[in-house]
């Protein structure tokens, strides 16, 4: 199976790459490709229209990307879409995505939507040991008692924990690159990371 992975941005890539390569032993450009976008965006009012060339977010481009993949992908391929929930209602977001699929006359045969609640930084703060191993000076008490996947401003809390207050996008990418090698992918505390992994296990026939 070949997997086309769509993410909101480059800071999501290290975590996805770590799951695919360390957990599932897949190889970049042999078993999968990752396509980061410029933010989340929003679903277009008419999903069958040509995409707005000025909008580069994941959801802005998603209908057109699905049409493109649908032209050549077969039942041995998968489109994996990872979306940050932010402060949306999970069920409502998934319903909108399912409605999009129902409106699509040409789409890939296999599509897996997965949500990061609230964002991929939530996966990191749910694993304080990984954060501490990546950043030895981190104040882990700031994140240790946060319930996994709590909507609390995950990247802001992570920035505070490791002693960076600005939370700029370059820092988010660096945090991910430093932390993901230490994430517990066998027993992740984040429910949304568990669902991300279990969904892939099922699609790969490993569940």
Contact present, 126 and 177 (Cβ < 8 Å): no
Helical spans, DSSP H, in the chain: 13-18, 58-70, 90-103, 120-125, 128-134, 141-144, 154-162, 169-179, 191-203
**Residue 176 pLDDT:** 95
Contact between 77 and 108 under an 8 Å Cβ cutoff? The reply is yes
Per-residue model confidence as pLDDT tens digits over 23-68: 999 999 999 999 999 898 888 888 777 877 777 899 999 998 998 8
Q: CB of 173 within 8 A of CB of 11?
A: yes
3-class DSSP assignment, residue 32: strand
Phi, psi of 113 (to 5 degrees): -95, 130
**pTM given for the model:** 0.91
How far apart are the C-alpha atoms of 188 and 112, rounded to whole Å? 20
Q: How many angstroms separate the Cα of 203 from the Cα of each of 3, 101, 126, 145?
A: 10, 18, 25, 33
Neighbour-count burial of 34, counting CB atoms closer than 10 A to its CB (0-12 exposed, 13-18 middle, 19+ buried): buried
Q: What is the pLDDT of residue 108?
A: 87
Cβ atoms within 10 Å of 54's Cβ, excluding its own: 6
Given this model, what pLDDT does residue 122 score? 95
Taking 70 as the pLDDT cut, the residues of the chain under it are 166-170, 207
Q: Which helix (H) or strand (E) holds 95?
A: helix 90-103
* pLDDT given at position 207: 67
pLDDT of residue 170: 54
Angle among Cα 18, 197, 105 to the nearest 5 degrees reads 105
pLDDT for 3 equals 97
């Amino acid at each position: 199976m070949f997997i086309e992975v769509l993410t909101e941005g480059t800071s999501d890539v290290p975590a996805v790459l770590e799951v695919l390569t360390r957990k599932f032993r897949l190889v970049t450009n042999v078993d999968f490709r990752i396509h980061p976008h410029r933010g989340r965006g929003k679903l277009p009012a008419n999903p069958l229209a040509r995409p707005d060339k000025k909008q580069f977010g994941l959801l802005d481009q998603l209908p057109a990307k699905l049409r493109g993949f649908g032209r050549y992908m077969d039942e041995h391929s998968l489109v994996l879409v990872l979306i940050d929930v932010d402060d949306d209602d999970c069920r409502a977001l998934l319903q909108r995505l399912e409605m999009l699929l129902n409106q699509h006359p040409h789409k890939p045969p296999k599509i897996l939507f997965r949500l990061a609640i609230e964002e991929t930084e939530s996966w990191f703060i749910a694993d304080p040991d990984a954060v501490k191993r990546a950043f030895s000076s981190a104040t882990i008490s700031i994140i240790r008692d946060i319930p996994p996947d709590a909507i609390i401003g995950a990247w802001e809390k992570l920035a505070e924990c490791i002693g960076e207050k600005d939370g700029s996008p370059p820092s988010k990418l660096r945090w991910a690159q430093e932390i993901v090698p230490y994430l517990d992918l066998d027993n992740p505390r984040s429910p949304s990371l568990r669902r991300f992994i279990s969904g892939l296990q099922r699609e790969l026939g490993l569940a």
